[in-house]
Amino acid sequence: MFTELNSILNTSPESFTPGEFILLSDRQSDASFLIHHFLSFYLKARCKVCFVALVQSFSHYHAVSQRLGVSLTQAKEKGQLIFLEGLKESLSVFLPQEENPDHQAMSFLRDPAAGLRSLYEFVQSSVVGSSGGGGASAEQWGPPVLLMDDVSVLLSLGVRVGAVLDFSHYCRTTVCSQLQGDVVMLVRCDGEAEEDYADDEGSEQLMRGLTHQSCLTLHVQGLPTGYCRDIHGQVEFCWKKRQSDGQHAPKKVFQFKVHDKGVSFFARGTSRAVL
Amino acid sequence: MAAPVKSVDKPPAECSPLNFTSFQKKSRSKSLSIPGTRPSVQNGQLLVSSGVTSLDYLLGGGLAVGTVLLIEEDRYDSFSRMIFKYFLAEGVVCRHELFVAAAQDDPDDILQELPAPILDDVAIHRPGEQPRMSCEPQDTLDAMKIAWRYQNLPKVQSALASSSRFGHYYDVSKTMEPEIRQAAKWHRFYHPEHPPLSSGTHSPKLESYSALLKSLRDVIQREGFDLTAPLPKSRNILRVGLHSLGSALWGDDLCCHDNPKNVHALTSFLYGLRALLRTSLSVAVVTVPSHLIQDRALMGSITRLCDNAIALESFKGSERETNPLYKDYHGLLHVRQVPRLNCLASHLPDHKDLAFKLKRKQFTIERLHLPPDLSETVSRVSKGELAGAATAAAACSSATSSAKHLDF
């Protein structure tokens, strides 16, 4: 996890607000480094994490998390992390070799227009299983957390926007309201916000719908002045509800640079390349 | 996974009881020594050359094994096809296996058009031909009397055992010799040969793409490129070349309609391709005629499903061809996406304004720089004005263009 990001968000693995829906979004940029931050953050906070990874393989997250100080294989063995590797499971749906059991998480790929019910059932079984059967396992984990990387690839696979919004609503109800856990989702968008893209109704609509449902949004964009090798973009933080102290502003903008072992955030114009 | 060098042999579960730390020295494991590959200096990924050395440099050393390179075709598919052929030719020279899929041309024809490699240092295996070092007979090669200057040079290898060089250069005016080409093992998928069979599933995927994915999966599993199965002793890389996906010849209507019926066919296929590649020792190059796809958002989602993405914009046929600003180049090259593989950071290109030129022995990609302004006019003519002034230049009168230039 990135310490500068923790100080900006005013959280730490020991104390964070439960029951939050955090949305990571990007526009013509790549916000996946934030997913790595939240993954290591919640694992260090001893929460039970359900990670739905739809675009990268397990070893990718494992390699990055090792640099951030968390071992995903150990977390999986201990039962703290439930990892759905979407790529691997999708192959068995696209190219069925033998009879597959029907209760697979990615079986919605057979008929994407029907919705994401199977995926929701997988999420529900993994998060509810933790708090329900606590007596059997040796260690008690904290509140459950759902991480999704990323949601907009579901649109590319043929799922309707409404189905994805329904799925996120169901997840939010189960994880945030009932179990007081957190949900972090990554959504990616391609077009310009101002132009009226009739074609991009899908991902714009999805982003707007998810932003409405979330209570904290981190929006990653490129620099408005163009491409720079030393500043990789800017992050816009947007809080929906005021926290108990109520001191901070609802919106903040920071610029960032991604290094090998972390990400540094700085106020606009204070990059080391400029000063 | 995109095949990091150190951990391909051992699945992660095996490592944990033996290690006290998670740090593993790279020299411990029996690292893969597949000819034609090298580990990346940035993150230890296994890289293969794309056939174009300047493209390798642009992409951070080469194409990572397990990833997809998307090439958005130029208008007449001339330069993207050239890069496609470079990629396959590099596979032949490095003794990798090839999988070529096309709907327009027969893969046999594509392979016959591959450019000839310029092999100075490594000889081609020709049975019965003596190495022509000098007039010395072979038994007294230890002490050369006449050509003693050649004494210390390495001996010419008689077999193309391992191309120790990473990238090769090709001569596009000649085609690859049949002996070299036939030494390569390759598989083909020609779309007209696979008639559509009716499937029962109601999926958004097209028959052609499903058949292609299935054929690729069969090749990967049969020839031992699958990383989940126990690997054979000698490993090799499979180079997958998919030509012109999304075009109408594949049965897809992405390029024909504004609101295509099978919007998600190509993206579902690319998702399946990504899944296949991440679990096998293969690299894919996919070309897509993006200039025919009207929906920019769709192009965005196609790009996000691939790892590396470049777009070629050639000057052929446009007014830029005769523009003196661009006279040194054949077109512009845009880097649309670079991947983050197994690490947080990615290799970002230094500059985004790149232009390419296809020379006989090299495909160069360099930073676009304007030629020096050696004309008599004081101010540099902009690109838009030049197009109009070019027609007036024949009249060669300063009166017509004096309004644009400061006249001292």
What distance in Å separates the CA atoms of residue A89 and residue A55, rounded to the nearest whole number? 12
How far is the C-alpha of A185 from the C-alpha of A182, rounded, in Å? 10
Tokens of B282: 């293969």
Beta strands in B233-378 (DSSP E): 238-242, 282-288, 308-314, 331-337, 354-358, 363-367
Residue B112 lies in a domain: yes
Residue B11 in contact with partner chain A when CB distance is under 8 A: no
Rg, chain A, Cα only? 19
- Residue B317 has a pLDDT of 82
Q: Answer whether A156 sits within 8 Å of B305, measured CB to CB.
A: yes
Residues B113, B151: Cα–Cα separation, whole Å: 39
Distance CA B80, CA B74 (A): 6
Predicted local confidence at residue B155, as pLDDT: 64
Instruction: Tell me the residue type at B147.
Output: A
Mean pLDDT of B302-310: 93
The answer to which of A62-66, A75-79, A156-160, B119-123 has the lowest mean pLDDT is B119-123
- Report the range of poorest mean pLDDT among A34-43, A109-118, A251-260, B238-247: A109-118
Give the Cβ contact number of residue B335 at 10 Å.
19
Q: Is the complex ipTM more than 0.90?
A: yes
Query: Residue B328 maps to which CATH number?
Result: 3.40.50.300
Cβ of B352 and A227 within 8 Å? Answer: yes
Which H or E element spans position A185? Answer: strand A182-189
Query: Is residue B72 included in any domain, yes or no?
Result: yes
Residue reference for tokens 């058949």? B211
Q: What residue spans of B321-394 are helical by DSSP H?
A: 383-393
Pull the structure tokens for residue B190.
């020609």
Give the 3-state secondary structure of B290-312: HHHCCCHHHHHHHHHHCCEEEEE
Nearest to A91 among B205, B263, B275 (CB): B275
Does residue B165 have a pLDDT over 90?
A: no
Whether the Cβ atoms of residue B265 and residue B252 lie closer than 8 Å to each other: yes
CA B84 to each of CA A81, B88, B357: distance values in angstroms, whole numbers, following the listed order: 42, 6, 16
CA distance A49 to A143: 9
Range of the domain at B312: 37-118+157-367
Residues 132-151 of A with CB under 8 A from B: none
| B179 contacts B119 by C-beta, under 8 angstroms | no
- Let me know if residue B7 belongs to a domain: no
pLDDT score of B397 more than 80:
no
B145 assigned to some structural domain: no
Q: Tell me, yes or no, if A200 comes closer than 8 A to chain B by beta carbon.
A: yes
Confidence class for position A193, pLDDT limits 50, 70, 90: low
Query: Is residue B311 over pLDDT 90?
Result: yes
Residue B358 lies in a domain: yes
Tell me: the pLDDT tens digits for B80-138?
A: 999 999 999 999 999 899 999 999 999 999 999 999 998 765 444 444 444 444 444 44
The answer to whether residue B372 is domain-embedded is no
Is A139 a residue whose pLDDT tops 80?
Answer: no
Number of domains in chain B: 1
pLDDT band at residue B231 under the 50/70/90 scheme: confident
> Rounded CA gap, B42 and B211, in Å?
37
pLDDT tens for each residue of B175-218:
988 988 888 899 999 998 887 766 555 455 788 899 999 999 99
Higher pLDDT among residues B138 and B56, named by residue? B56
Task: Work out the percent of chain B whose per-residue pLDDT is above 70.
Answer: 73
Query: How near does any CA of chain A get to the CA of B284, in Å?
Result: 16
Average pLDDT, chain B: 78
* A202 to chain B: closest CA residue: B297
CB neighbours of residue A89 within 10 Å: 19
Q: Quick check: is B307 in a domain?
A: yes
As a whole number of angstroms, the distance between CA A126 and CA A122 comes to 6
Is B334 contained in some domain? Answer: yes
Beta bridge partners of B313: B332
The pLDDT tens digits for B258-297 are 778 878 899 999 999 999 999 999 999 999 999 998 888 8
Nearest CA in chain A to B6: A63
Using CA coordinates, name the residue in chain A closest to B7.
A59
